[in-house]
Amino acid sequence: MRWNGAPLSGSAQLPASKSESNRALIIRALAGAGQLDNLSDANDTELMQRLLAEPATTATLNAEDAGTVMRFLTAYLAVTGRQVLLTGTARMRQRPIGVLVDALRQLGAQIEYTEQEGYPPLQLQGWNPALTAQEPAELSVRGDISSQYISALMMVGPQLPGGLRLRLTGKVGSRPYIRMTQSLMQHFGGQCRDLGEIIEVRLQAYQPADYTIESDWSAASYWYAMVALAPAGSSITLPGLRRHSWQGDQAIVAIMDQLGVATEFDEQGVILTQKARAAAVEQDFTDCPDLAQTVAVVAAAVGVPLVLTGLESLRIKETDRIAALQAELSKFGGALVDEGDGRFRVPVAPFTVQGQTIETYHDHRMAMAFAPLALRGPLTILAPTVVRKSYPQFWKELGKAGFDIIEQA
């Protein structure tokens, strides 16, 4: 793929938020009804819909490579008493789920590991809650691995005999996703309070409700990257984004403001334009880990020194994203330097785009984080269909914007 040389302009269509969509689907299933508009067309969301629609007699459900599907469905299937094998891809079977399974077992779920202890596949064998009192079930859950465990437990909390009281221990990552879960629960009538270290979910049945999913801020981050790397005078409009968003990845607004992209909100969404860059950037990605790849690539390409912290969860994503970033940035002369104590640095170094080939490691975000570099020179992206996980129309939208994309056999 390569760029036509002109300033970037026009409008790009974003997918709906996968994070909102998958949470809303679980909560609607527990509520029993409700109209969801603008659901994501991402593979993860379509997969969630299919699996939720499977009859109770289905013996095996395959979450493929979808983290939210695996974790949210584990909790949903447990409290609804399903007896089923929940499995996934080879990579999914390497992603830990012990924290969630341990918590669900304490609540009454009967779950066994069929291969490696602490990892999928899981054999769910029914629900036998020992809790009958009206006091909430109390659990302590680590918050430093994945907020998806916490969100999964929160969403099924109203189904428990006395509700749920979660004590979060350690550093809690991706807290905006917890707040998103709380907001969607409340939209469907759930009672949930975030007290910092404590999250309280009261016994209160969900009520059917309608909801329109917002466009995806994670997907928007790739267009921010394109404006940052595009010729002078470039601008792009992204419809469907809200100024007051439940999505943590709206943090891209403030981050990219330092890397040369200004954001203007209007009634339709946002307009991105170019501006001066900061001399250096330091960013904690604890609450927005899915932005780290995009920001690291942009910083390396434009020559702005960047310090990154809060990357702990990147090791257990679709791939080891830290190792993948280090390998692919090095092809251009860039680097992601591990300085220890959870601190990483993208130094200023000569950075040249001249026909390199990008490995994507079965990771949609690797493909989309590196694709904007085609604005600086020709580039080849391997396994481009990986973007179906979250942004199926990504390459189509790039073509509409002016990229020359040739699919190789």
- Binding residues for 3-phosphoshikimate, as ranges, are 18-19, 23, 146-148, 174, 290, 317
Distance CA 91, CA 95 (A): 7
Point out the catalytic residue in the list 290, 320, 338, 363: 290
∠ Cα 18 154 137 (to 5°): 165
**393 contacts: CB under 8 Å, gap ≥ 6:** 13, 15, 41
**Nearest partner of 8 among 408, 347, 409, 400, judged by Cα:** 400
Active site annotation includes 290: yes
The residues that bridge with 271 in the sheet, in sequence order, are 237, 264
Instruction: Please give the radius of gyration of the chain, using alpha carbons only, rounded to the nearest integer.
Output: 21
H, E, C per residue of 108-169: CEEEEECCCCCCCCEEEEEECCCCCCCCCEEEEEECCCCHHHHHHHHHHHHHCECEEEEEEE
**Nearest partner of 258 among 193, 302, 200, judged by Cα:** 302
How is residue 130 written in tokens? 């020992």
The residues that bridge with 49 in the sheet, in sequence order, are none
Burial of 39 (0-12, 13-18, 19+ CB in 10 A): buried
Known binding residues = 18-19, 23, 67, 95, 146-148, 174, 290, 317, 321, 365, 389
Catalytic residue annotation: 290
